A and B are shown apart, each in its own frame.
Chain A
Amino acid sequence: MSSKYELVVGLEIHAELSTNSKIYCSCRNKFGLEANSNCCPICTGMPGTLPTLNQKVVEYAVKMGLATNCKINKISKQDRKNYFYPDLPKAYQISQADIPICENGYLDVLLKDGKIKRIGIERIHIEEDAGKLLKMQNFDEALVDFNRCGVPLIEIVSKPDMRSLEEVKAYLETVKSYLIYLNISDAKMQEGSMRCDVNVSVRPVGQKELGTRCEMKNVNTFSGAVKAIEYEYRRQIEALEEGESICQETRKWDEKLSQTVSMRTKENSKDYRYFPEPDLKNISISQEEIEKISSQIPQMPNHKAIRYINELGLRQVEAQLIAENFEKARLFEKTLEINKNINIKMLSNWILGTVSEYVNKSHKNYSEIITPENLSKIIIYIQSGKISNSSGKKVFDQITLDNSRSVDEIILDLGLEQISNTDELEAVVKKVLDSNKKIVDEYKKGKTNVLGYLVGQCIKETKGKGNPSIIRDIVTGTI
Chain B
Amino acid sequence: MNLYQMPASALSKMIKSKEISALELSESVFSRIKSVEPKIQAYITLCEKTAIETAKSVDQKISRGENLSPLAGIPIGIKDNICTKGTLTTCGSKMLYNFVPPFDATVVDRLKNADAVITGKLNMDEFAMGSSTETSYFKTTKNPYNLNFVPGGSSGGSAAAVASGEAILSLGSDTGGSIRQPASYCGVVGLKPTYGAISRYGLVAFASSLDQIGPIAKCVDDAALLYLSIYGHDELDSTSARISPFSWEIENQDISMLKGLKIGIPREYFSDQIDKEVKDATLNVLKILEENGSQTFEISLPNTKYALSAYHIISSAEASSNLARFDGVRYGYRAKNYKTLTQMYENTRAEGFGNEVKTRIMLGTYVLSSGYYDAYYRRAKLLQNKISSEFSEAFKKCDVILTPTVPTTAFEIGCEIDDPVKMRSNDMNTASSNIAGVPAISLPCGLSKDGLPMGFQLICRHFEEEKLLKIAKCCENLIGEIKLPNI
| Cβ-based interface call for A75 (8 A) | no
Cα distance A89–B201 when bound, in Å?
Answer: 17
CB-contact partner of A48 in B105, B324, B340, under 8 A: B105
For B339, list chain A residues within 8 Å (CB): 139
For B81, list chain A residues within 8 Å (CB): 48
| Cβ-based interface call for A245 (8 A) | no
For B341, list chain A residues within 8 Å (CB): 86, 139
Shortest distance in angstroms between A83's beta carbon and chain B's nearest beta carbon?
A: 9
| Cβ-based interface call for A32 (8 A) | no
| Cβ-based interface call for A45 (8 A) | yes
Q: Are B239 and A281 in contact (CB under 8 A)?
A: yes
Cα distance A86–B344 when bound, in Å?
Answer: 11
Shortest distance in angstroms between B132's beta carbon and chain A's nearest beta carbon?
A: 23
Cα distance A256–B235 when bound, in Å?
Answer: 47
For B205, list chain A residues within 8 Å (CB): 47-48, 279
For A280, list chain B residues within 8 Å (CB): 238-239
Q: Are A44 and B324 in contact (CB under 8 A)?
A: no
Cα distance A48–B327 when bound, in Å?
Answer: 15
Shortest distance in angstroms between B314's beta carbon and chain A's nearest beta carbon?
A: 9
For B235, list chain A residues within 8 Å (CB): 52
- Smallest Cβ-Cβ distance to B345: which chain A residue: A84
For A271, list chain B residues within 8 Å (CB): 369-370
Q: Are B321 and A48 in contact (CB under 8 A)?
A: no
Cα distance A51–B82 when bound, in Å?
Answer: 17
- From 64 to 122 in chain B, residues with beta carbon under 8 angstroms from any chain A beta carbon are 81-83, 89, 91, 96, 99, 101-103, 105
Q: Are A91 and B325 in contact (CB under 8 A)?
A: yes
| Cβ-based interface call for B365 (8 A) | yes
Known: A48-B203, A271-B370. A89 touches B325 (CB 8 A): yes
Cα distance A51–B200 when bound, in Å?
Answer: 11
Q: Are A47 and B83 in contact (CB under 8 A)?
A: yes
| Cβ-based interface call for B255 (8 A) | no
Q: Are A47 and B99 in contact (CB under 8 A)?
A: yes
| Cβ-based interface call for B214 (8 A) | no
Q: Are B325 and A50 in contact (CB under 8 A)?
A: no
| Cβ-based interface call for B330 (8 A) | yes
Shortest distance in angstroms between B196's beta carbon and chain A's nearest beta carbon?
A: 10
| Cβ-based interface call for B377 (8 A) | yes
Interface string of A27-59 (1 = CB under 8 A from B): 000000000000001001111111111000000
| Cβ-based interface call for B318 (8 A) | yes
| Cβ-based interface call for B317 (8 A) | yes
For A366, list chain B residues within 8 Å (CB): none
| Cβ-based interface call for B270 (8 A) | no
Shortest distance in angstroms between A82's beta carbon and chain B's nearest beta carbon?
A: 5
Residue among B202, B207, B365 facing the most chain A CB atoms (10 A cut-off): B202
Known: A44-B330, A89-B330. A281 touches B208 (CB 8 A): no
| Cβ-based interface call for B411 (8 A) | no
Count of residues in B whose CB is under 8 Å from the partner chain: 47
| Cβ-based interface call for A92 (8 A) | yes
| Cβ-based interface call for B288 (8 A) | no
Cα distance A281–B82 when bound, in Å?
Answer: 23
For B357, list chain A residues within 8 Å (CB): none
Q: Are B201 and A50 in contact (CB under 8 A)?
A: yes
| Cβ-based interface call for B237 (8 A) | yes
Q: Are B101 and A279 in contact (CB under 8 A)?
A: no
Q: Are B368 and A275 in contact (CB under 8 A)?
A: yes
Shortest distance in angstroms between B424's beta carbon and chain A's nearest beta carbon?
A: 21
Cα distance A53–B239 when bound, in Å?
Answer: 11
| Cβ-based interface call for A465 (8 A) | no
| Cβ-based interface call for B463 (8 A) | no
| Cβ-based interface call for B382 (8 A) | no
- Smallest Cβ-Cβ distance to B83: which chain A residue: A48
Known: A89-B329, A273-B365. A52 touches B236 (CB 8 A): yes
CB-contact partner of A90 in B91, B204, B325, B340, under 8 A: B325
| Cβ-based interface call for A80 (8 A) | yes
CB-contact partner of B200 in A45, A50, A144, under 8 A: A50
For A144, list chain B residues within 8 Å (CB): 329
Known: A80-B321, A84-B324, A86-B341. A50 touches B236 (CB 8 A): yes
- Smallest Cβ-Cβ distance to A269: which chain B residue: B370
| Cβ-based interface call for B373 (8 A) | yes
- From 102 to 140 in chain A, residues with beta carbon under 8 angstroms from any chain B beta carbon are 139
CB-contact partner of B204 in A47, A86, A89, A279, under 8 A: A47
For B83, list chain A residues within 8 Å (CB): 47-48
Known: A51-B238, A271-B369. A92 touches B201 (CB 8 A): no
Cα distance A364–B68 when bound, in Å?
Answer: 58
Cα distance A92–B318 when bound, in Å?
Answer: 12
For A89, list chain B residues within 8 Å (CB): 325, 329-330
For A279, list chain B residues within 8 Å (CB): 205, 208, 238-239
Interface string of A264-305 (1 = CB under 8 A from B): 000000010111001111000000000000000000000000
Q: Are A41 and B102 in contact (CB under 8 A)?
A: yes
Interface string of B319-333 (1 = CB under 8 A from A): 011001111011100
Cα distance A49–B201 when bound, in Å?
Answer: 6
Shortest distance in angstroms between A90's beta carbon and chain B's nearest beta carbon?
A: 5
Shortest distance in angstroms between A426's beta carbon and chain B's nearest beta carbon?
A: 82
Shortest distance in angstroms between B96's beta carbon and chain A's nearest beta carbon?
A: 7
- Smallest Cβ-Cβ distance to B82: which chain A residue: A48
Residue among B201, B235, B321, B368 facing the most chain A CB atoms (10 A cut-off): B321
Shortest distance in angstroms between A23's beta carbon and chain B's nearest beta carbon?
A: 13
Cα distance A280–B238 when bound, in Å?
Answer: 6
Known: A48-B83, A91-B325. A278 touches B208 (CB 8 A): yes
Q: Are A275 and B321 in contact (CB under 8 A)?
A: yes
For A90, list chain B residues within 8 Å (CB): 324-325
Known: A92-B321, A278-B208. A50 touches B105 (CB 8 A): no
Cα distance A471–B126 when bound, in Å?
Answer: 97
Shortest distance in angstroms between B336's beta carbon and chain A's nearest beta carbon?
A: 13
| Cβ-based interface call for B209 (8 A) | yes
Q: Are B91 and A47 in contact (CB under 8 A)?
A: yes
Interface string of A72-92 (1 = CB under 8 A from B): 000000001010101001111
Shortest distance in angstroms between A80's beta carbon and chain B's nearest beta carbon?
A: 5
Residue among B96, B200, B325, B330 facing the most chain A CB atoms (10 A cut-off): B325
Cα distance A279–B199 when bound, in Å?
Answer: 11
Q: Are B91 and A275 in contact (CB under 8 A)?
A: no
Q: Are A47 and B96 in contact (CB under 8 A)?
A: yes
Q: Are B102 and A46 in contact (CB under 8 A)?
A: yes
Residue among B96, B320, B368 facing the most chain A CB atoms (10 A cut-off): B368
Cα distance A89–B81 when bound, in Å?
Answer: 19
For B340, list chain A residues within 8 Å (CB): 139
- From 226 to 285 in chain B, residues with beta carbon under 8 angstroms from any chain A beta carbon are 235-239
Shortest distance in angstroms between A171's beta carbon and chain B's nearest beta carbon?
A: 30
Cα distance A45–B321 when bound, in Å?
Answer: 12
Known: A46-B103, A47-B204. A281 touches B369 (CB 8 A): no
Shortest distance in angstroms between B33's beta carbon and chain A's nearest beta carbon?
A: 26
Q: Are A278 and B96 in contact (CB under 8 A)?
A: no
Q: Are A275 and B208 in contact (CB under 8 A)?
A: no
For A80, list chain B residues within 8 Å (CB): 321
Shortest distance in angstroms between B172's beta carbon and chain A's nearest beta carbon?
A: 15
Shortest distance in angstroms between B51's beta carbon and chain A's nearest beta carbon?
A: 22
Shortest distance in angstroms between B146's beta carbon and chain A's nearest beta carbon?
A: 34
Residue among B81, B365, B370 facing the most chain A CB atoms (10 A cut-off): B370
- Smallest Cβ-Cβ distance to B200: which chain A residue: A50
Q: Are A48 and B368 in contact (CB under 8 A)?
A: no
For A49, list chain B residues within 8 Å (CB): 103, 201-202
**13 A-B residue pairings within 8 Å (CB atoms):** A47-B89, A47-B99, A47-B204, A47-B205, A48-B83, A48-B105, A89-B325, A90-B324, A92-B321, A139-B339, A274-B368, A275-B377, A281-B238
Q: Which A residues form the contact surface with B (CB < 8 A)?
A: 41, 44-53, 80, 82, 84, 86, 89-92, 139, 144, 271, 273-275, 278-281
Extra contacts, 11 of them, besides A46-B102, A91-B327 (Cβ < 8 A), are A47-B89, A48-B103, A48-B201, A82-B368, A89-B329, A90-B324, A271-B369, A271-B370, A275-B377, A278-B208, A278-B239
7 smallest CB-CB distances across A and B, nearest first, come from A91-B324, A278-B208, A273-B368, A278-B209, A47-B204, A48-B202, A48-B83
